[in-house]
A and B are shown apart, each in its own frame.
Chain A
Amino acid sequence: MSSKTAESKTLDSLKDLMLKPEKEQIQRIEDRLDDPMVRAKEISQTLPEAISLSIINNNKLSRVIQPVIDESIKVSVKNNPKALADAIFPVLGPGIRKAISSTIMGMIQSLNQMLNHSFSIQGLKWRFEAFKTKKQFAEIILLHTLVYQVEQIFLIHRDSGIVLEHVVTKDAITQDPDLVSGMLTAIQNFVKDSFQTDDEDGLETLRIGSDRSVWIENGEQALIAAVIRGTPPLNLRIKYRELIEEIHIKSGAALKKFNGDSLPFSIFREQLKDGLHFQEKVNKKQISFLTWFIIFLILTSLGLWGFSLFKTNMMWTGYLERLKNQKGLIIVSAQKNQGIYHISGLRDPLAKDPLNLLQKEEEKRIKITTHWKPFYSLDPGFILQRAHKLLKPPSTIKLELSGNSILARGKASQDWIETFQKTALTIPGIDGFEEGLIQNIDKEKLNNTVKGLMAIKVYFENNSTNLVKEQEQRLTQVYQKIKAIQMLQFKLKEPLQIVITGHADSSGTEKLNLKLSRNRAENIFNYLTGLGINSSFLTISGVGNNKPLKKENDKDDRQYNRAVSFDTFYLLSTKGS
């Protein structure tokens, strides 16, 4: 055991002799490895180089370290937000300012447009549209005013001002793009130099007149300049921003080495063209077939309605015209109210019913209410008509007007003549009458009857008051005629007396004959009064043989003179038959 210990000691000494420096080195390394402070100190010296190398080799470090940094930022923000805020303020500040200023610019622009359009006809139209679509007025304005057209887009090499690519819409009028691009670059430089701005971006917008502008999106090596007509939305700028960034990512190297050959950049032509394309925003609503059809229907029905209205109106005026020309009607007012026509005025009772003047078709279309007050028309036709109505003349009478007088012509009875006399002046429109042309048929009848009576003789037997036989019929005739005369004279108010004269033949004495003839007349008188003839109407006379009816030559002549004859006379008046 002791030998073994000694052996081991010897080996250790040997080891010390042989490996001491290495041992110490290993000890130092162990110490270093064990002491984190020492290691940290060492790593801190090599870390920057290590990071540089890592960036060269695939950037692996960035990826690895990213979660750590993210976490650190989170912790930092949690523990002390102010520190981070202070740190990023200088970066954030300008960014926010820029965003705010462009927003305010946009708002001012809209506000301007709103004010400009508020009171114009266009404005009113848009207000109506806003009302119709229930959208905000401002929204409608934006919708309409954000009509724009990107006319040209330049992709320009920033330093030389040489055009790398240029796209243009079909109908835009353009100048030589190389010259425009050069001058644009010169002006950008000029502005930058003149105002000594630190901002790398320089000019961002050029406004030309009220509706054209050039938007410039600057990249490091190249820029996009878009010539825009109208008012584009701000997000368009973001699209250009993205495009110029993409161009730099894809062709950054080519841009750096650019020597005047623009061919490599033609690959962006389509994208730039898209930049023209997606801006073409014309807010024209296509009117559908249905809308056209509805418009057509509306117009057609409006037309028909209008035509019908026109037709009804024509009928109405035509009807009114006819009414106005109608005798016995005076229209005071005629108006339409709620589809019904109201007519009021004066109407002669004899005038035609105005409603009967409506033709069948008119009756269908025009609804009419009337209100008439009666009046007498002084139209001659109406006066005559009225006279006919009141006088009811027989068919043998013709009524005529002579001025304001009425004249009757023809045959009429005493009764009618009296009516005429009494009524003529009561007829409205008449202030005189003429009856001289009327033939009184009652008077004629009286005359004729008197004549008939006077032609009749009643014969008697010789020296007797007895009637010769078979004279009953003759007596009846006498009676009837006298009765008629009595009635007629009463009607005509003519104080006519009938004289019954008795006659005798020349045989016998005069004294006897006188008595005989008177008895004969009395005999007839008694007969007539016995039948009811008023005695005061009759006068008896006996003339004997003093007034023979015939010269006596033979016995027949004597018989002829044995008779009673009749005659008439007027009591008070001289008027005779």
Chain B
Amino acid sequence: MKKKICMLGAFAVGKTSLVERYVHSIFSDKYHTTVGVKIEKMQTAIGEEIVDLIIWDLHGEDEFQHVQLSYLKGSSGLIYVADGTRKSTLATALNLKEIAEKTIGKVPFILVLNKMDLQDQWEIDDLTLKDIEDKGIIVVQTSAKTGDEVKHTFQLLTKKMLDK
């Protein structure tokens, strides 16, 4: 089983670092700035089922551009990434969610708040978080630096995609 997923988020929220240590890639980071996407592969298993995740790591732009919209086509799941230490990135992520849903319809997704290792600079309060979770959005806090929760996030999304 192969699933295409996209990673979306504002610039420098840590999308690439998040997956870096778990994925297999043959392309250089140059592709991010040239084509606007870098494709990676991660293998995960849910029970007996082995799933190859084809991760389209989209170049983070603060303003989502037309070019990238077509990259979303055929995605089975999406990961929105925001930087917990920059509140604006959360807004960007939610905005991206709106646009993505308009483009390809509803697919399983997860909202990731990255950089949880930097708690002292944390800008997102519990209230905001609760508001989001109340909308039925799954939020996972991760640290690309320590690797906390990263694998779990992908597994969670995979599970959701298979359950769909």
Contacts and interface: CB of A to CB of B under 8 A. Distances in A.
A186 B39 contact: yes
Contacts of B41: 176, 178-179
A183 B31 contact: yes
Given A183-B31, A194-B67, 18 more contacts: A158-B74, A160-B76, A161-B54, A161-B56, A162-B4, A175-B26, A176-B26, A178-B54, A179-B40, A179-B41, A182-B54, A183-B35, A186-B35, A186-B39, A187-B35, A189-B70, A193-B67, A260-B51
A178 B27 CA distance: 12
B17 interface: no
B67 A261 contact: no
Contacts of B25: 179
Contacts of B27: 179, 183
Contacts of A259: 76
B117 interface: no
Contacts, number: 78
Contact of B2 (A159, A178, A183): A178
Interface in B36-79: 36-37, 39-41, 51-52, 54, 56, 66-67, 69-71, 73-76
A175 B56 CA distance: 17
B1 interface: yes
A162 B37 contact: no
11 contacts: A157-B74, A160-B4, A161-B4, A161-B39, A178-B54, A180-B26, A186-B35, A186-B37, A189-B73, A260-B51, A260-B161
Given A178-B54, A190-B36, A193-B66, A160 B26 contact: no
A268 B31 CA distance: 32
A180 B1 CA distance: 17
B3 interface: yes
Contact of B74 (A160, A179, A180, A183): A160
A143 B146 CA distance: 61
B116 to A, nearest CB: 29
A193 B58 CA distance: 15
B24 interface: yes
Interface of A: 157-163, 175-176, 178-180, 182-183, 186-187, 189-190, 192-194, 259-262
A176 B76 contact: no
The 10 A-B residue pairs whose C-beta atoms are closest, nearest first, are A160-B74, A159-B74, A182-B39, A189-B70, A160-B4, A159-B73, A260-B3, A186-B37, A162-B2, A193-B67
A37 B7 CA distance: 66
Interface of B: 1-4, 24-27, 31, 35-37, 39-41, 51-52, 54, 56, 66-67, 69-71, 73-76, 161
A163 B2 contact: yes
Nearest to A258: B74
B38 to A, nearest CB: 8
Contact of B70 (A175, A176, A180, A192): A192
Contacts of B161: 260
Nearest to A194: B67
A159 B161 CA distance: 17
Contacts of A176: 24, 26, 41
B56 to A, nearest CB: 7
A158 B4 CA distance: 12
A163 B1 CA distance: 11
Contacts of A194: 67
A397 B1 CA distance: 128
A183 B66 CA distance: 18
A3 to B, nearest CB: 87
Contacts of B36: 190
B76 to A, nearest CB: 6
A260 B39 contact: no
A9 to B, nearest CB: 78
A182 B7 CA distance: 14
Nearest to A160: B74
A183 B54 contact: no
